[in-house]
Structure 1
Amino acid sequence: MSRIRQLAGTLCMVMVLHSTSAIAFFAAPKAIAQTPPTTLSTSDAIQQVVAAGLMNNYADGQFHPERFMSRAELASILVKAFALDTRAAATQENLVEVQDVPASHWAFNNIQTVLKTGIMRGYRGNMFFPNQRVNRAEAFAIFAQAYGVYQFPDDTVAEILTPYPDAASVPTWARRSLATALNEGFVNIDAQGNIRPLQPVTRGDMAYALSRYLARQQQPGV
């Protein structure tokens, strides 16, 4: 992976020099860190993100890591984790027209923020489908977009994805973003080393990604 580490450093410079690229880079990419995705337990991850205020327990006091996440929930978590509401695009006064998310919706402001910043996109007919489940490919690709996507060349993306048995099931549109998330250690994999890109993302999955992100903020280079 040394070649990928060198390439990541080069890409970091490229993103500084080409900040007007069509792909948005909202966070400076870090150096490659090949920390095994299984080194952090789900319970540890949950404790960390709850303590940081990025996710909350339910009214019964339980986190319920097995529960699936909706688009509205994902939007709200990412706004908080990456302070998306402080980015320039989020401060635009004009609202994005969204037919199925009225101003009374609990996640209205957060959904407006992810749409204005381009972190998430709506569907045809100005629909957002806030209650729709999100699969793991979508969730981690969106997470990577909020973090900052490496502009890896295709051969490097393939090199990152190839070790995973189910890499072929990663949608084409998500490959580069998911490669960034994997490369940064944000993706938890199963015992067989599978990414499971088409399975619904769970609260436990997102807690893991957020805990790894917190570790990077606290210890750059981890």
Structure 2
Amino acid sequence: MNRLAALLLSMIMTLMLLAPAAGWVESEAAPAAPDAAKQFEALRQKGILDGVEDGSAGLHRQMTRAELSAVLVRLLKLKPRSSAPSYEDTGSHWAHEQGYIEAVTASKLMEGVASRQFDPDGKVTLEQLAATLVRALGLPAETDPQLTGKVSGWAAGFVATARNAKLLSEHPDYTQAATRDILTMALTAADARLAVPALSAGPAGD
């Protein structure tokens, strides 16, 4: 009986010694989740992103089209354009007054949602984000996109290119509004590609 107990004790001790090693290997192999907060801070240091009203990153908030126009100008170092508004709904908007909307319009990065309507306070959708970043990087839109999520016909090629370029992860519905954490990770990927000329055709012209 004593020999059996000693044998069981030896087996238990052996398993306890092996368990930490096995757990360490498994945790090392698991991919780390993207840290949007750290990426946001890096982009804030570069002057590309800024916080919301209370100074926080606001990563779970949605992004407006006016805010995206400002981000694109900073990302690509475009010159803000102070000119007569191209749209009927932007004349007194801060993004027009600071030259962001006209800059992205002239660079063909963003366009109106209807005739002479920019909808500056409208929410940016995932497919709109994909289209603007693909244009910003000078990448060609896929001509035969293979996607599983819901996407508008006009945006399918842009979304497929954004997915292949790792600007966006897979989503079930690309017509949904993009949150600032998704924008942060997409901008980080775009900024990295802009730093390597071979990965993009360069930013759109001013």
- Amino acid in structure 1 at the alignment position of 2:164: N
| 1:20-99 alignment runs, 5 A limit | 40-85=34-79, 95-99=84-88
Aligned with residue 214 of structure 1, among 180, 184, 191: 191
CA offset at residue 124 of structure 1?
3.5
Point out where structure 1 has 5 or more consecutive residues left out of the alignment. 1-36
CA offset at residue 111 of structure 1?
0.6
How many Å separate the matches in 1 of 2:139 and 2:172? 18
Deviations 1:91-128 (A, max 9, x none): xx8645311111x4210011111112221111444121
Q: Is the 8 A contact 1:96 1:116 kept in 2?
A: no
How many Å separate the matches in 1 of 2:85 and 2:164? 33
1:200 aligns with 2:190: no
How many Å separate the matches in 1 of 2:188 and 2:107? 23
Length-normalised TM-score, structure 2: 0.70
Q: For 2:100, what is the secondary structure of its paired residue? A: helix
Distance 1:94 1:55, change over 3 A: closer
Deviations 1:51-109 (A, max 9, x none): 211111234231110111111111111111122338xxx6xx8645311111x421001
Q: Which has the larger radius of gyration?
A: 2
How many Å separate the matches in 1 of 2:174 and 2:161? 14
Structure 1 vs Structure 2: percent identity of aligned residues? 27
CA offset at residue 42 of structure 1?
1.5
1:117 aligns with 2:94: no
The residue number in structure 1 matching 2:8 is none
1:106 aligns with 2:91: no
Distance 1:152 1:125, change over 3 A: closer
Q: Is the 8 A contact 1:186 1:208 kept in 2?
A: yes
Please, which moves more after superposition, 129-138 or 51-60? Answer: 51-60
Q: Is the 8 A contact 2:134 2:141 kept in 1?
A: no
Please, which moves more after superposition, 144-153 or 175-184? Answer: 144-153
Deviations 1:116-142 (A, max 9, x none): 222111144412111111211112112
Matched positions, count? 167
Q: What RMSD over aligned residues (CA atoms) do the two structures have, in Å? A: 2.6
1:139 aligns with 2:120: no
The residue number in structure 2 matching 1:130 is 120
Higher relative contact order (CA 8 A, sep 6+): 1
Point out where structure 2 has 5 or more consecutive residues left out of the alignment. 1-30, 200-206
